[in-house]
Chains A and B, each alone.
Chain A
Amino acid sequence: MNLSESVAIAERLSASSKQCLGVRGLTKYFGDFPANVDVTLSVDQGEIHALLGENGAGKSTLVKMIYGILKPDVGSMELNSCPYTPDTPSDAKHAGVGMVFQHFAVFDALTVLDNIALGLDGRLPDVALADEITAVCERYRLHLELNRRVYDLSAGERQRVEIIRALMQDPRLLILDEPTSVLTPQETEQLFTTLDRLSDEGRSIIYISHKLDEVRALCDRATLMRAGHVVDVVDPRQESTRSLGEKMIGERLNETKRTKLPATEKLKARLTVRVGEVYPESSRSAVLRDIYLSVAPGSILGISGVSGNGQDTLFDVLSGELTLPNPDSLVLDGEPIAHLGIEQRRRRRLLGAPENRLGHAAVPDLTLWENVILTARQTRGILKNEHLISGTAAKAFAQEVIETFDVRTTSVNAKASSLSGGNLQKFLIGRELLGQPQVFIVSNPTWGVDAKAQLFIHQMLMDIADQGASIILLSQDIDELLSVTDRICAICHGRLSRTFATEDMTPEHLGALMLGQEIEA
């Protein structure tokens, strides 16, 4: 950042009316790695302030310092015109700062009431507390049953637990870390109403998100971060989603596009699924009922749904993690395959990339080339005589994935867990794509992935569809589904809706489908 830019930012800061939080010159190093360098941030009272940046830009480090989880190396903070140096989250709470974490800090086996009591100093989960919570719930129109255990709750309800926990302390400043990544459009709408109400009461909000159009709809100002530095402070309402994204990344974004026209209905289906009833392995997922779908060569089918509605079981059925007794339930190019396991389906080039990157799609503590062997072993002579691993071939394959798909990592010897979410996802999808899938099944590929990597992954999917592969994309992200797919349907309580052409679909209509409207029981 050059001097004139710094001055411009400082002027915009000083123009602020009544400051709630002021952060000056905050710097934090992890070893040699600069997580935050000379960061300046100003949040007014009643302001909804967005914090934007790619993964690893330093947003989380910044809010962790504001919330007292991390201590800055250099720099000062002010809260309501008083010096503010929180040593612990509890200091931050007492000073009037609340936080809602991206990975909710809730306890599955405890009740909602217990969970809220834990966030409040010296409170027992008794009747008096329950009454206070009910009052807050009514005031902000947040519905919660206090005696339910958290493992029974949806993601939106879990978030409500966190929000109420924060609101019970009457915070002046509330920090939300990617609050909408797991919510339905309707839940997002509700959240925005709540946030607007909080802002009307003069409470300030720091809102971290990847979703630029949300930021444009909700936030008064946005601070953009890149590689640990603040690069700009803008009014998101004056920006387009595209210009905001480009300012955040610091380079131009390419538009994703298809080179060929999407396949028409006349093409013969490559994969057809006809399933009566499938019971899931965990009781938290819905039972699949009367699933019928088909996908043609060169076409991308989107399946939208709020998590927990059966899409994990559907993924397992499609990928072969869950085999079905009746072979005819899945037909691939005329061959019944529902009774075949993953390995045999892979030989027929039906490949899958599950939602959970670390732990399911990749083993965190294995290197990238070792992770290649886990799925791509039938290609490029990685396995000799079906049993012996060729390290050289696996490393060459991993290197090819890294180069072809622009994976940012040190080498093929890096552990899977050391990659950022976006880069690991590029690697994992690339690993399957080099195997030239006929049918590719992918679940929430861009969850928690930054804007640039997101576009890259979308382009990867479109490219293989152009080359004739059939893709089934299970996702919660409505924008992703609308921009990538050719046809679209929704899953709710284990049942599929009708399938629509994506060009005829609106976000509102899709949101309604995800909530089970128009699905006949």
Chain B
Amino acid sequence: MDYSLLSSILHAILVASTPLVFAGLGALIQERAGVLNLGIEGLMIVGALAGFATALAGYPLLVSVIAAALAGSALAAIFALLVLRLYANPVATGLALTLFGLGLSALAGAQYVGQAAPQVSVWTIPLLSQLPVVGHALFSHDPLVYLSILMAALLWWFLKKTRAGLILRAVGENHASAHSLGFSVMGIRFLAIAAGGALAGIGGSYLTLVQTPLFVEGMTAGRGWIALALVVFASWRPFRVIAGAYLFGSVTILQLHSQAFGISIPAQWLSMLPYLVTIMALVMISARGEKGLAAPGSLGKIFRVSR
């Protein structure tokens, strides 16, 4: 076996998975607060464009990523306004958000098509990156890969260990009870939506800043939908989102490399593979039917303050 090939495949898997990690965490924090946002795809592509445009203007990576996060947050705030204040149906609003984000980014991004973003520097971690095979694959990446893992850890800590996280989970579990205990369901959900929008925006910007680095209309190519499925797959737990995203990234990359290994399966079957894996995983989870893996109790339900 060619170790350098294995190493480069592993490296590619991490790069392919990172946008899904960010977007999945973004969807997760919203869903734990009880908000079903089908607009993740729209948030991602708007973040992708905002990050790309900032990088082209000559700003450093950090500023580009912040711009992407703000763009995602701003678009998510529109969703929050419609769903939380005006009681719009969240499913329809989420779908509209996806279409709106795709259209807006195509319009505003037309001028950037064909340009290339500057190369992002790689942070090589000393010593660890010298390890055979895994060294290069795992410890020689752009800063965003490390940030994605840090974010998952941070989100886990927030949900599990802080009072604010406990309140957020309570709002997602039973918004009527949370309201009667005196928590601001709307305020907490607004913050969760804004934070989720920021994470989805960063996930989108990873595509244009690192992965390709180009901007093309509709380049998120369904990753926002996969992120939503990942959250269910991960039974609403941050570290499982990473596991799910890497599994999904692996299948995507293996599909690309399988032809190099001389496996003669029609390419269409291989393209279907990641989605089949997702569906199978979802079926397996719901078939087990454990209580602890259930969705937040108030997920997707509209909350109105009763008179």
Q: Chain A interface (Cβ within 8 Å of chain B)?
A: 30, 69-70, 88-90, 93, 101, 103-110, 114, 117-119, 122-125, 149, 151, 283
Contacts and interface: CB of A to CB of B under 8 A. Distances in A.
Given A110-B170, A110-B173, A151-B291, A119 B181 contact: yes
Given A108-B174, A108-B297, A124-B163, 7 more contacts: A105-B180, A107-B169, A107-B297, A109-B292, A118-B166, A118-B167, A118-B181
Given A109-B296, A110-B169, A110-B173, A30 B307 contact: yes
B164 to A, nearest CB: 10
B182 interface: yes
B161 to A, nearest CB: 8
A123 B173 contact: no
A403 B181 CA distance: 42
B177 A107 contact: yes
A227 to B, nearest CB: 18
Contacts of B131: none
Contacts of B307: 30, 70
B122 interface: no
Contacts, number: 63
A90 B163 contact: no
A106 B161 CA distance: 20
14 contacts: A70-B307, A89-B181, A101-B180, A103-B176, A105-B178, A105-B180, A107-B174, A107-B178, A108-B297, A109-B169, A109-B291, A110-B166, A118-B181, A124-B166
B294 interface: yes
Interface of B: 161-163, 166-167, 169-170, 173-174, 176-178, 180-183, 291-292, 294, 296-297, 307
Which 8 pairs between the two chains have the least Cβ-Cβ distance? A105-B177, A89-B182, A90-B182, A107-B173, A105-B180, A107-B174, A109-B173, A107-B170
Nearest to A91: B182
Given A30-B307, A109-B294, A114 B181 contact: no
Contacts of A30: 307
Contacts of B169: 107, 109-110
Contacts of A93: 182
A103 B179 CA distance: 13
Select the residue from B173, B182, B183, B291 with max chain A CB neighbours within 10 A. B182
Contacts of B181: 89, 105, 118-119
A274 to B, nearest CB: 31
Contacts of A107: 169-170, 173-174, 177-178, 297
Nearest to B236: A109
Contacts of B291: 109, 149, 151, 283
B213 to A, nearest CB: 42
Contacts of A70: 307
A43 B307 CA distance: 26
Contacts of B183: 118
Nearest to A125: B166
B180 A89 contact: yes
